[in-house]
């Protein structure tokens, strides 16, 4: 994780403009609440989506194959495995970020990277751009989280 943090630091703070301290302060106060709220809503939405799926119909679904993998089936596996993980991590990250703990920042980065992976696999451009912006904001406020009490 430290190598990833160093790479993000190089990319988002040395090569891109640094935000003013006032903006960083506002982001640090608002972002954890957004993470906690939308993480909870996303997880509840995922539970609802799982309840609405008729697995017998999905088993009969035949899709296209890429490198020997059934694409709709692969999409479902990604959806059912990675989405709830991402939502739980972002909720926990938001909660710990409210207490100004670096652990929360790291969980939020991990959840955002999972989300970025999902969006890239589904070729969802808005999601990719959004996740990159969230990673930029997270990197900008990292310095405001103390390294002690990880």
Q: DSSP assignment of 18-76, as one string?
A: PPPHHHHHHHHHHHHHHHHHHHHHHHHHHHHHHHH--HHHHHH----EETTEEHHHHHH
Task: Express as a percent the part of the chain with pLDDT over 70.
Answer: 80
- Domain boundary assignment for the chain: 20-46+68-150
In angstroms, rounded to a whole number, what is the distance separating the alpha carbons of residues 59 and 29?
Answer: 45
Q: By the 8 A CB rule, do 35 and 90 touch?
A: yes
pLDDT of residue 141: 92
Q: Taking the model in full, what pTM does it have?
A: 0.79
**Cα 144 to Cα 7, 10, 28, 112, distances in angstroms:** 18, 17, 8, 19
Helix (H) or strand (E) holding 132: helix 125-141
pLDDT of residue 134: 94
Which is nearest to 38 in space by CA: 81, 76, 95, 79? 95
Give per-residue pLDDT as tens, 40-77. 998 888 888 777 665 555 555 555 444 555 556 666 67
Sequence-ordered list of residues with C-beta below 8 angstroms from that of 115, at least 6 positions apart, any chain: 86, 90, 127, 131
User: Minimum mean pLDDT among 63-72, 74-83, 108-117: which range?
Assistant: 63-72
């Amino acid at each position: 994780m430290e190598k990833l943090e160093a790479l993000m630091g190089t990319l988002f703070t040395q090569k891109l403009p640094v935000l003013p301290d006032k903006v960083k302060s506002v982001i640090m106060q608002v972002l954890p609440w957004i993470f906690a709220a939308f993480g909870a809503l996303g997880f509840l939405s995922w539970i609802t989506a799982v309840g609405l799926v008729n697995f017998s119909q999905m088993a009969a679904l035949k899709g296209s194959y890429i490198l020997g993998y059934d694409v709709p089936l692969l999409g479902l596996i990604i959806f059912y495995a990675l989405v709830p993980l991402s939502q739980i991590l972002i909720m926990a990250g938001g909660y710990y970020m409210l207490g100004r703990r670096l652990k929360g920042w790291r969980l939020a980065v991990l959840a955002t990277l999972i989300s970025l992976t999902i969006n890239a696999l589904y070729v969802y451009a808005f999601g990719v751009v959004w996740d990159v912006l969230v990673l930029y904001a997270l990197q900008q406020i990292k310095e405001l989280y103390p390294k002690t009490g990880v």
